[in-house]
Structure 1
Amino acid sequence: MKKLEQLPHAQRERLAFIDFSLSYFGEIARADLIAKFQTGLAAATRDFATYKEFAPFNLELIHQSKSYHRTEQFVSLFEHDPDTVLVSLARGFGDGLTSQLENSQVCIQPQHLY
């Protein structure tokens, strides 16, 4: 089996999105992956299979809803930066692996709020 770092960047982004969705929403469907990354059904299916290779106990397919749900044994594959997570939850998931927030005049960083 390949290491996560050996996968193409685009695929790691999709796997990070799966991981993020399971972490913070508790579920994700192939349709979510297709809509976010404009991939085909076969590519989305492969991404879920690849995610399951790396973390076989993180998700289970619920056939009735055709979505994957986080399990009790879930352990995140990716380290999600708290600032990026808050922005992603508020504005949508961006480049989950590499994006770092920069200070701006219009955005108060989350750590300044508490």
Structure 2
Amino acid sequence: MPIIKVLPHPEYAPQGAEIHANTGDSICEALLDHDIPIEHACEMSRACTTCHCIVREGYDSLEEPEEEEEDLLDRAWGLEPQSRLSCQAIVGKEDLTVEIPRYSINHARENH
């Protein structure tokens, strides 16, 4: 069972976290299952960027992002080469280290 190491985030994981994930689950599902409340405004339907994460270690173990995910990521705050939508990044057999960016573009939460 792979481990996802979550780097410290002031709101979602102040001390950071290490969780056991099921192979085949998305990073988003694994975080939510372990009480790390990453935003996911579109309910994981690949329609927003609020679940954006940066895969610091283990990125190459993930399947390549589809074009639709890449197009959405272009709108994410703090985009980096290892950025993924956590709802689309499926956990394989390798451990991962992820960083949840400090900010996201969530118009519903920001009352826009």
- Both proteins in one fold, TM over 0.5: no
**Taking CA–CA contacts closer than 8 Å with sequence separation of 6 or more, which of the two structures ends up with the larger relative contact order?**
2
Structure with the larger helix share:
1
TM-score (norm. length: structure 2): 0.31
TM-score (norm. length: structure 1): 0.31
**Higher alpha-carbon Rg:** 1
